[in-house]
Amino acid sequence: MKTRTQQTSQEETHQTVPLKVSTASGPQSIQIGFTEQRILGHAGLALMSGYLQRIGWREQLAAALPHAPRSPNAFAPVDVALGFMAGVWCGADKFSRVGHLAADPLLPEVLGTEALPSQPTLTRFFGGFNQHSNTAGFGRLSRWLCGRLPSQRGGYTLDLDSTAIVHEDGHQEGVRVGYTPRGLKPAHHPLLAALAEAKLVCGFWLRSGHAATLNNAPAFLDHTPAHLPAQVRVGLVRGDAGFCSAEFLAHLRRRGLDYIVVTPLHTRLRQHCRHEDAAWTPTGVPGLEAQEVTGAELDAPGRRVILLRQRVAERPEAGGKCLLEVPGYRFQALITSLPRSWSPVAVWRRYNGRAEIENRIKELAHQFGLKSFCCRKFWATEAACQLAILAYNLCVLFQRHLGQTQKVELQTLRFRLFSRAAIFSHAQGRPTLKFAIPPPHRAWWRSLLEKLQSPLPPWNCNSVGSLAA
């Protein structure tokens, strides 16, 4: 005889409620009920989890974290960190939203963790970081991830940039009023460095919101290449006008690094902008002309200064600055240490690739939660940002492992991979995920799973179909 509890449970399971929806043929009712089947909405994270297992990420992460919990009931620090990163991959941009995933009983099984952390657990976890643990631990993890890159003839290009992370409430450590694209706002003002060819972020220092762009930039430059593996050599440094100072450029030269940096159009350079057409050399690019000014003329001996003017009528999307005295053109000036074997247009083209770091910053801010994760303590905030950046780098390396030649953003990964539903069961005693994939698309998923198991190196050409398709 069934107990009252069992009978109630059965009734709740089979009870349905009709909901009317509008269709082309008129309104119809859809029955809505509940099921006891174990269904995972983010089952595609199993692929990322398998990749992390393959590269040994859990062991590397555990060795880099500073926490040493004493209570036998405490969360394993590596489980908290993995849970936070999984929340970022699922779209969480606040600790409360990461904590919301703790209600999902299946995600821990997919990630191989004891459980997912709640918001208070995350707050305590990030409170355990300090300056030393951030520098040593995250530097070690970044170096290890970059070690998965192959060497490159001529070295990698290191792009430097700074950005403003606005926090309107403004009560956290390090949040100060400073210049942002939205005017004077309470913010943090971090420095970032990225390897352009690999699209990896290899350096991040959080700074107070009122810090100038060049504040601590030489130390940041010393720290970042020092935490790169031997085969990842920096061949060129690129930066915007915020990094154009005689002291910083001299520091680059002392380190033996070539550079291309935008220089402001000050008065002496504007005089050259007003030169007649005979002073400008066609570049072969329609609407683009150049002239080179010797560094000695601008108190910059040993450097080349390249002026570029772009005709707005032919190049309406061109960057640069308009001058009232020379209408119809936009002007830009680049200062570089590259030899004269590099033509002005070649220098310009090489610098233009720097726009990629702007895309990295936007993706980190809007898709990896960099603009939203903010703790009361300064070093806790930096640790949260560093873990979010590691989540980004792992997405990049995950795509490289699949042989993807075109990197896609996290939103595409979520849409195509991570946010795929599956039924979770223990078939014959083994955990099993059965994805809800229509038959015409299963071949692509099978090839993806085969690639994850492939013993071949990640840069081989045996790739699956494009994730961007």
Q: Is residue 111 domain-shared with residue 227, that is, in the same domain?
A: yes
The token pair that represents 422 in the structure block: 């599956």
Name the maximum alpha-carbon separation found in the chain.
Answer: 101
Residue 131 — φ and ψ, nearest 5°? -60, -45
- pTM for the predicted model, two decimal places: 0.90
Domain that holds residue 23: 1-36
Q: Is residue 293 domain-shared with residue 375, that is, in the same domain?
A: no
CB atoms within 10 A of CB 119: 15
The tally of domains found in the chain comes to 3
Residue that terminates a domain, selected from 353, 373, 394: 353
Q: Is residue 28 domain-shared with residue 113, that is, in the same domain?
A: no
Q: Is residue 309 domain-shared with residue 399, that is, in the same domain?
A: no
Q: Is residue 362 domain-shared with residue 447, that is, in the same domain?
A: yes
The token pair that represents 388 in the structure block: 């979010």
Q: Is residue 4 domain-shared with residue 49, that is, in the same domain?
A: no
Q: Is residue 203 domain-shared with residue 116, that is, in the same domain?
A: yes
Q: Is residue 212 domain-shared with residue 358, that is, in the same domain?
A: yes
Residue that terminates a domain, selected from 323, 353, 383: 353
Q: How far is CA 401 from CA 55, 198, 237, 451, in A?
A: 10, 12, 27, 8
Among 346, 362, 309, which Cα is nearest to 163's?
Answer: 362
In tens digits, what is the pLDDT along the chain, a chain of 469 residues?
455 555 544 555 557 788 877 777 777 888 888 877 888 888 899 999 999 999 999 999 999 999 988 877 788 999 999 999 999 999 999 999 998 888 888 888 889 888 899 999 999 999 999 999 999 999 999 999 999 999 999 899 999 999 999 998 888 999 999 888 888 899 999 999 999 999 999 999 999 999 999 999 999 999 999 889 999 999 999 999 999 998 999 999 999 999 999 999 888 888 888 888 888 999 999 999 999 987 655 666 678 999 999 999 999 888 888 988 889 999 999 999 999 999 999 999 999 988 889 999 999 999 999 999 999 999 999 999 999 999 999 999 999 998 887 889 999 999 999 988 898 888 888 888 899 889 998 999 998 888 888 776 555 545 567 787 6
Beta bridge partners of 294: 304
Q: Is residue 61 domain-shared with residue 151, that is, in the same domain?
A: yes
Q: Is residue 112 domain-shared with residue 226, that is, in the same domain?
A: yes
Q: Is residue 328 domain-shared with residue 226, that is, in the same domain?
A: no
